[in-house]
Amino acid sequence: MNKAISKAIEFRYRIEKDVLAAMKKPHIQYWIFLFISVILFVTGMSLWYYQIKTGMGVSGKTHPVGWYMYITNFVFWVGIAHSGTLISAVLFLFRAGFRSSFNRSAEAMTVFAIMTAGLFPIIHLGRPWLFYWLLPYPNERLLWVNFKSPLIWDVFAVGTYFTVSLIFFYVGMIPDLAIARRYATGWKRRLYSFLSLGWQGTPDQWRHYNRLYMFLASFATPLVVSVHSVVSWDFAMSIIPGWHTTIFAPYFVAGAIFSGTAMVITLVVPMRKFFSLEKYITLDHFDSIAKILLLTSLIVSYSYIVEFSMAFYGGNIFEMEVFRYRAFGDFWIFFAIMIICNSIIPLFLFIRKLRRNIKFLFISSLFVNVGMWMERFVIIVTSLSRDFDPYAWGLPSFSTVAIGITLGSFGMFFMLFLIFVKVLPILSITELKEVHE
């Protein structure tokens, strides 16, 4: 046999083995992480039950501040979802090679983040058992939803996004599932056989597959822009100073990609370490993704400046008060954290050395996650606290339930991700083969 061919085959097997090695019996560390996540998730769900039982009052919302942590979490998780699509679809269309190191985890992250995000609009409802009233379903009383309401747009935007992301995630995984089928035994084998939909890797199948993947990528790309624009319109379409502004759509999209990219780094860095994937996820790749982080950070910082300048030069007293309050009012600490995390720390990424420093990258990604959560919180809460009528100004109250449910959402997200790494191939094997040849 030709030596070169046998080497290539051997290389292919090595990739398969390396990637699928992650699916082997887990370490004790894995179980600890999973346990913590599950505990958080279960606590969060129990608190939700408690909230339904006692009343919305336990969530810390008050009279002017009708939206609080739950909507913050919703926007935050939808934002997290974004870079998944960006990395897998947009970068695919741009043929960015480093994408294949991240795309699978990014896509998984997208799906799980939307699942988490999707819970919050229901959690925050006064009567959550009636959530289906937000869906336009035919009924004998001829009740219909209000298509003027941005919340209905949300239902469609998030619903579409979830469907498309899930299909994209799944379709991209079919050839890998077929590989996993080959290595698996017992019930796992049966599962992978089912999921791989009879994939044989014939040239015909590949041709169809590539075309489908291309279509899906093109289809998903506009969603990157549209979904978070719609989410931002929940605020921008309102009348509240601090919300009612045209900059919100691009500002939120940039913010979403920013936070999503940070979350990808947060997830991939430990994953790379635990499963010894240094060979496949290299420093060059991190360098590239850090550049995305930097770029979006600059856009977000620019938006902050624009917001404040508009308020200042606009001379509208309502607007001016809200922005004065945002920076110097009761929530100044939150604002300061947001500026430090989102605008200042990422500036260090201009230094090439730091972009290639995994530890630094990981820590700054954590800061960005925190900062972006703060950003949503600050926008929502400070604007509601100080709107038009000074008599009605007020603050939200501290709520352990809201904090518990927030932590529970992190528990849910990490729980799903941890299950993912043990059940599905964490890197795109077929793409890696392609790239490395």
Partner 1 sequence: MNRRNFMKFLGFITGSTFLSSCGIDKGLRKIISYAIPPEKEIIPGEPLFFNTTCTECPALCGIQVKAYEKIFDTERGIYPVKLEGIPDHPINYGTLCIRGQASITRLYNPHRIKDPLIKERDGVFRSISWDQAFQTIISEIEKHKAEKRYNFFISSRTTGSLSLLIDEFCHEFNIKRLPEFEIYNYSAIRKANSFLFGKYSIPHYNIKDADFLLTMGADIFETFISPVSHAVQFSIARKNNNLKWFHVEPHLSLTGICSDKRFTINPGTEIYLLIYILTSIQKRKISSNIPASVGQLIPSLPLDILKEKTGLKEEEILLIRDAYLNSKRPLIITGGVSTRSGSGFEVAVLSGLINWASGSIGSLVDFSREENYLRVGTIEEFVNFLKTIDENNTGLLFLLKTDPVSIFPQHLGVKEKLIRARFKVSLSDSFNETTKICDLILPLSHSLESWGDANPRRGLVNLIQPATKTIFNTKSHGDIIIEIMKRKGKVVSEDFKSFVMSNYQKRYGKDSLNMFIEKGFHEENPSPVRVSFNEENAQLFLRKLKYPEAMKTPLLILSPSLRFFDGRSFDLELLKEIPDPLSTISYGSWISLSEETAKKLNISERDELEITKDQWSIRVPAKIQKGIGKDIFIVQIGGPINYSGMTDPRSGEILSYIEGINIRKTGKNVSIPILSGSMSQEGRGIIPYPIHRTENNKKHKESLYPEHKHENYRWAMTIDLDLCIGCSACVAACYIENNVPIVGINEHLKGREMSWIRVEPFYDEKDGIRFLLMLCQQCDYAPCEPVCPVYATYHNPEGINAQVYNRCVGTRYCSNNCPYKVRRFNWYPHEWEFPRDRMLNPEVSVRQAGVMEKCTFCIQRIRRAHDIAKDEGRSIRDGEVMPACAQTCPTRAITFGNILDKNSSVYKLSKSDRSYRIFEQLGTEPSIYYLGKRRGDE
Q: What token pair was written down for 305? A: 């400046």
Tell me the C-alpha distance between 171 and 190, whole Å. 18
49 makes contact with partner 1 (CB under 8 A): no
- Identify which of residues 91 and 322 has a Cβ nearer to partner 1 in the complex: 322
User: Nearest Cα to 436, choosing from 267, 282, 210, 330?
Assistant: 282
Among 12, 42, 66, 191, binds partner 1 (CB under 8 A): 66
Contacts with partner 1, 389-408, as mask; x by CB under 8 A: xxxxxxx-x-----------
DSSP 8-state symbol, 94: T
- Identify which of residues 52 and 327 has a Cβ nearer to partner 1 in the complex: 52
Tell me the C-alpha distance between 181 and 239, whole Å. 55
Looking at residues 308 to 327 of the shown chain, list those that interact with partner 1 (rule: CB under 8 A): 317-318, 321
> Counting beta carbons within 10 angstroms of the beta carbon of residue 54, is it exposed (0 to 12), middle (13 to 18) or buried (19 or more)?
exposed
Residue count, binding to partner 1 (CB under 8 A):
49
Looking at residues 71 to 130 of the shown chain, list those that interact with partner 1 (rule: CB under 8 A): 121, 124-127, 130
- Identify which of residues 150 and 250 has a Cβ nearer to partner 1 in the complex: 150
Backbone angles phi, psi at 156, to 5 degrees: -70, -45
181 makes contact with partner 1 (CB under 8 A): no
Nearest approach in angstroms of CB 320 to partner 1 is: 10
- Name residue, tokens 């819970």: 119
376 makes contact with partner 1 (CB under 8 A): no
Nearest approach in angstroms of CB 375 to partner 1 is: 18
Tell me the C-alpha distance between 259 and 86, whole Å. 12
Contact (CB, 8 A) for 401 and 50: yes
168 makes contact with partner 1 (CB under 8 A): no
Could you tell me the sign of the dihedral formed by the alpha carbons of 185, 188, 192, 198, in that order?
Answer: positive
- Identify which of residues 51 and 103 has a Cβ nearer to partner 1 in the complex: 51
Choices 12-20, 150-158, 194-202, 333-341 (CB under 8 A): range interacting with partner 1: 150-158
Residue 372, H or E segment: helix 358-385
Encode burial over 81-104: b for 16+ CB neighbours within 10 A, e otherwise: bbbbbbbbbbbbeeebebbbbbbb
User: Nearest Cα to 249, choosing from 224, 273, 268, 266?
Assistant: 224
Nearest approach in angstroms of CB 240 to partner 1 is: 6
Q: What token pair was written down for 245? A: 């502004």
61 makes contact with partner 1 (CB under 8 A): yes
- Identify which of residues 92 and 235 has a Cβ nearer to partner 1 in the complex: 235
Q: What token pair was written down for 56? A: 């919305």
Among 44, 64, 260, 408, binds partner 1 (CB under 8 A): 64
List of residues 6+ apart from 155 with CB closer than 8 A: 121, 134, 135
**Tally: H helices and E strands in the chain:** 16, 0
- Identify which of residues 143 and 336 has a Cβ nearer to partner 1 in the complex: 143
- Identify which of residues 67 and 335 has a Cβ nearer to partner 1 in the complex: 67
- Identify which of residues 26 and 136 has a Cβ nearer to partner 1 in the complex: 136
Nearest approach in angstroms of CB 49 to partner 1 is: 15
Q: State the number of CA atoms in the 13 A half-sphere of 228 facing the CB.
A: 30
- Identify which of residues 249 and 268 has a Cβ nearer to partner 1 in the complex: 249
Nearest approach in angstroms of CB 124 to partner 1 is: 7
378 makes contact with partner 1 (CB under 8 A): no
* Contact positions vs partner 1 (CB under 8 A): 54-57, 61-64, 66-67, 121, 124-127, 130-131, 133-134, 143-146, 148-152, 155, 234, 237-240, 317-318, 321, 384, 386-395, 397
